[in-house]
Chain A
Amino acid sequence: MDFSDFLYMRSELSLLIVVIFLLLYDIIAGKKSMVYFQPIAIVLFAIHTIVTIIPYGTGEAFGGMYQNYPMMTVVKSILNIATFIVFLQAKNWFDTDKFKNERGEFYFLTLITLLGMYFMISSGNFLLFYIGLEMASIPMATLIALDKKNLKSAEAGIKYILSAAFSSGIMLFGISYIYGTSGTLYFNDLPQLIHNTDPLQIMGFVFFIVGLFFKISLVPFHLWTADVYEGAPTNVTSYLSVVSKGSASFVLMTLLYKVFVNLIVEWQTILFWIIIISITLANLFAIRQKNMKRFLAFSSISQAGYILLGIIGGTAYGMTTLVYYIFVYVFSNLAAFGVISTIENKSGKLNIDEYKGLYSTNPILSFVMMLAMFSLGGIPPFAGFFSKFFIFSAAAQQGFYLLVIIAVLNTIISLYYYLLVIKAMFIEHNEKPIPAIKSDTYSNVGLVICSAGILLVGIFSFFMESINQYSFGI
């Protein structure tokens, strides 16, 4: 065996080292040195992030089982940044006595799911892909149920694992059809063997693809989302809504571009309807939500619909806009979750009504939340405007005008509910607003990173340009 193949796997190996180190540290360290666990984890992960960003050899390894292209490294880096911010925000959570002992598990499990996503992104074969997918979802269920004494958290965990198992079953069924009709599982060989004249292959394709729709939580495969987002600990929810969703969207794109290119008419039609239903339904549901986490769950479903707009054109520009959208979404959504988790950890408040008058007591947190809502709603000059603008233009360039019009109309509806949060915080009065909260340095750093991202990523064209140089189309 040629060990040089491992050189392509730098990001996976470096993450594995971090994971193993943290696991051993958690087991060996005494009570005293556990105080340093989180700072060490964060620093190690930061180093890993930097190691991944530095460009390295790209190509295929292990006979095409594993692939690594520059764009994949870009996406992995974006996921790293998101995870890093989540870690910063989680520090606060594990300082409470109740969760002190779970911190080792949290970091270990989170990083394992991240590793699974790496494999999912870099896989060149359905087998590796499936292993990656399961690696990313089974520990996720544990994470969701991390607050095990809490009934809601436990319920969310069980719902997630059952739904995920069901979706995996259908997906495997689909893969078996693809294998049965083509005789291979390698992504490189499949395109020539898949034809849109074969109903069995189309059925296999659909069964496979809905598994990813489940991960991205698109309507009608989204029903688990609201329950799980609400029940899971807030930091897990933010991880789930950003990292898990981002990686699955990118994988969906590469698979559609590379493997199912012959079925382009089919998947364009499917995506067309899925996008419309997802955005519209999720928006209509989001309007009525009272709980911040449920509200953001529906918001994230509609955002997922927007993300797919980058795929439907099948162009290199579409890939750029999708990755850019995810990048911006990381900052916007994590800013919102950062504020929510800070407030939840210190005061236990989670309802939109309880946010009334927040500005009078916590001006900075309200300000960050406002940035996040504006960015999610797509108001210039914040980054969210640019990402929406680009992703719309990617779809419009390929002639999907009707779709873009519907999507634009939906942004108006979405603006309504994003502004409701701002209205509650800034305009409405409250006899007893949430008292002034002093957040810790770690989550402050996280919020600063997010705010900077929202303010700067849109205005400086550097990010868009550097993503653009690595993207490819059909």
Chain B
Amino acid sequence: MEYTIYILLLPLFTFIFIGLLSNKLSHKTAGIIGTISLTIITILSYMTAFEYFTTQKINGVYQTIVPFNQLWLNLGANLHIDLGIMLDPISVMMLIVVSTVSLMVHIYSLGYMKGEVGFQRYYSFLSLFTFSMLGLVVATNIFQMYIFWELVGVSSYLLIGFYYTKPEAVAASKKAFIVTRFADLFFLIGILILSFFTQTFDFGILMSGDGSIFNSAIGTTFIGGSVLTWAMALIFVGGAGKSAMFPFHIWLPDAMEGPTPVSALIHAATMVVAGVFLVARLFPIYIGFTPEVLHGIAYVGAFTAMFSAIIAIVQTDIKRVLAFSTISQIGFMMVALGVSGYEGHEGLGYMSSMFHLFTHAMFKALLFLGAGSIIHAVHSNEMNQMGGLRKYMPITHLTFLIACLSISGIPPFSGFFSKDEILTATFNFSNGLGIWMTVVAFLTAFYMFRLYYNIFWGKEYKSENGHIPHESPISMTFPLIFLAAVTLVSGFIPFGKFVTADRAEYIIHLDWTVATISISVAIIAILLATALYRKPSNIPSKIVSKTKGLYKAAYHRFYIDEIYLFITKSVIFKGISQPFAWFDRHIIDGAMNGLAWITNWTSLKIRGFQSGQVQWYAYVFLLGTLLITILAIAI
């Protein structure tokens, strides 16, 4: 499967090509080049998936294959960094997800970004992102993953800040970069600890099932835990940063300042699930050697899922609602991984997490693209400026409804199947966690339909200047229809056949007790939302005034941003940075100015000697020689 290398080279080449020629290409050419390149990548990804899943199964177990691996940097006797491509069920699955969503976003952007300044730059950055994300998922070793991990962060930064003349966008891009970069620091430390003790970066060796390489890491303890526990926990912190887990979730809502298709691609379907992918990639180590970290991941996921679902209920900006919903759904995936075992039925959590990653990527991208289509029509992100749009935008309406039903967990839409498996796995782990997550599922259905009714029903849309919203062009509705179709059918994919923790086939069968509970919970939530929001009424505002404190806290996202601001502004800036700045300004700069003055003075003096006086050079030369001689003889 040597052709897989082109999956990486093609987007890189496209990025360089469009990036370098951006001024010479017209908008249309740049967009078409980007889209064609991505079409080829998508075709190659599907070919890879087909070939992999049909031929690489030996004794019922999928093999890991490495079609390409090149030594890149040698660090001492054992450690070396390679760059290559590794194919196993999850990386192949991610190839499909990334290329499909990316292709849809490329097509969608042809319409959505039409006429924007910097259109070519936008497409070159999209290619850069696609390259980085694909490189991340096929990484053969954890260091390559880290390199692409950072590249993904950079391209996300560039795309969030695409409207660089808008101060909010610039602030948001900085925030996203700094928060994730801060978490990545822990990731890097984790990698360094892990590789120091195991003497390898290679996933193949780390996951070979041979536990002896971890012996020294397990044997060394550090503040109440083995070094391996620390390393794996730190690595998860990196994953939590990218996947916006509490308390690193603060960057994701702000990242919505970027163009909406970018939110769909990066902040809903691909980059934000990198943390989930990371945990899944290292799952054999987590489950085999540090189950306590894995359980910690489950609790972090569960808390984040509930926390952000509550916030999502009261947000009024439709993209923010979707952003918090994304955080909540990633919480679901993390929980599923955290409660999972390894073999056979035990591994249900792993399978369902990957399944949910897949279905969520599709329907969440659909939701975002739908939101983009709505914003395109009414030129606003605020719910209260919408309402009754179903008449004007039938396609957007229908596809958005399908996605809402899917995320709420109504059969036969894809979200039902994956979420149901997650709940089953959670109930198998503990009833308490199961009930907790069921409550989150209830909230999910409620806030999604609150959103849906507020946009498409409720009060009639009125515009001050007589602007009538209209359906978006074909380039934007085609991706919506395509993704809606995927959402309709992907629930029926026998996912256990392809992706499982132990890579052996696993037959999914629905647990009807759990399924009944989850369906009824979702239906109750939807009915409640219907009652409250379908027609304009004053009940919601009454509820708000009754629960003023809670509402306000949730609306302000429980003041987490303010806490961060307090810590950075009052503690770090005032307590640490200001003394340092003073030191820098007065002591260091003073010393530097002094040095510069001395330099100035000496060079002035030397210049005085320099006009033609070679004897001065000879004099210094001789003096230097004699000094060195004395130095050498003295020791």
Contacts and interface: CB of A to CB of B under 8 A. Distances in A.
Contacts of A166: 617-618, 621
A269 B631 contact: yes
Contact of A269 (B612, B623, B629, B635): B635
Given A220-B623, A266-B635, A285-B603, A163 B628 contact: no
B624 interface: yes
Given A155-B612, A166-B621, A223-B621, A205 B632 contact: yes
Nearest to A219: B624
A366 B629 CA distance: 46
Nearest to B612: A155
B402 to A, nearest CB: 44
Contacts of B624: 210, 220-221
8 contacts: A166-B617, A167-B621, A210-B625, A210-B628, A220-B621, A221-B620, A224-B614, A287-B596
Contacts of B628: 206, 210, 270, 274
B582 interface: no
Contacts of B610: 227
Interface string B66-97: 00001111100000000000000000000000
Given A266-B635, A288-B599, A459-B72, 4 more contacts: A163-B617, A220-B623, A223-B617, A273-B631
Contacts of B58: none
Contact of A221 (B621, B629, B633): B621
A461 B83 CA distance: 11
B600 interface: yes
A285 B600 CA distance: 8
A273 B612 CA distance: 29
A203 B633 contact: yes
A159 interface: yes
Contacts of A155: 612
A266 B631 CA distance: 8
Contacts of A464: 74
A162 interface: yes
B614 A206 contact: no
Nearest to A266: B632
A220 B606 CA distance: 13
Interface in B595-610: 595-596, 599-600, 603, 606, 610
Given A210-B628, A285-B603, A461-B74, A163 B621 contact: yes
Interface in A286-307: 287-288
A224 B72 contact: no
Contacts of A159: 614, 617
Contacts of B71: 461, 465
A263 B633 CA distance: 11
B632 to A, nearest CB: 4
A385 B628 CA distance: 32
Interface string A130-156: 000000000000000000000000010
B616 A207 contact: no
A262 to B, nearest CB: 13
Main secondary structure of the interface of A (DSSP, over half): helix
A288 B600 contact: yes
A270 B625 contact: no
Contact of A210 (B74, B596, B614, B621): B621
Contacts of A66: none
A61 to B, nearest CB: 33
Interface in A433-453: none
Interface band, chain B: 20 to 34
Interface in A158-178: 158-159, 162-163, 166-167, 170
Contacts of B633: 199, 202-203
A220 B603 contact: no
A270 B595 CA distance: 24
B625 A223 contact: no
Contacts of A214: 621
A163 B631 contact: no
Nearest to B620: A220
Contacts of A265: 635
Contacts of A16: none
B635 A163 contact: no
B632 A269 contact: yes
A144 to B, nearest CB: 14
A424 B612 CA distance: 32
Interface in A254-271: 263, 265-267, 269-270
Interface string B580-603: 000000000000000110011001
A203 B591 CA distance: 37
Interface string A101-118: 000000000000000000
B504 to A, nearest CB: 38
B629 A203 contact: yes
A151 to B, nearest CB: 11
Interface string A216-238: 00001101100100000000000
Nearest to A204: B629
Most chain A CB within a 10 A radius of its CB, from B596, B612, B633: B633
A177 to B, nearest CB: 11
A166 B600 CA distance: 28
List the 8 closest A-B pairs by CB distance, nearest first: A220-B624, A223-B617, A266-B632, A206-B629, A284-B599, A162-B614, A166-B618, A210-B625
Nearest to A283: B599
Given A202-B633, A269-B632, A270-B632, A223 B620 contact: yes
A158 B615 CA distance: 12
Interface in A178-214: 199, 202-203, 205-207, 210, 214
A319 B65 CA distance: 38
B629 A207 contact: yes
B621 A207 contact: no
Nearest to A205: B632
B146 to A, nearest CB: 14
A214 B628 CA distance: 14
A210 B617 CA distance: 14
Contacts of A167: 621
Contact of B616 (A205, A206, A210, A223): A223
Contacts of B612: 155
Interface string A239-281: 0000000000000000000000001011101100110000000
Contacts of B632: 202-203, 205-206, 263, 266-267, 269-270
A199 B632 CA distance: 9
Contact of B618 (A163, A205, A206, A273): A163
B631 to A, nearest CB: 7
A439 B596 CA distance: 38
Contacts of B631: 269-270, 273
Most chain B CB within a 10 A radius of its CB, from A155, A224, A263, A284: A284
A170 B614 CA distance: 16
Contacts of A162: 614, 618
Given A163-B618, A221-B624, A461 B72 contact: yes
Nearest to B618: A166
Contacts of A274: 628
Nearest to B70: A461
Contacts of A267: 632
Most chain B CB within a 10 A radius of its CB, from A205, A267, A288, A461: A461
Contacts of A158: 614
A210 B620 CA distance: 12
Contacts of B72: 459, 461
A76 B622 CA distance: 32
A285 B621 contact: no
A319 to B, nearest CB: 15
Nearest to A159: B614
Contacts of B616: 223
Contacts of B600: 288
Contacts of B635: 265-266, 269
A221 B624 CA distance: 7
A273 B70 CA distance: 40
Nearest to A209: B628
A291 to B, nearest CB: 13
Nearest to B635: A269
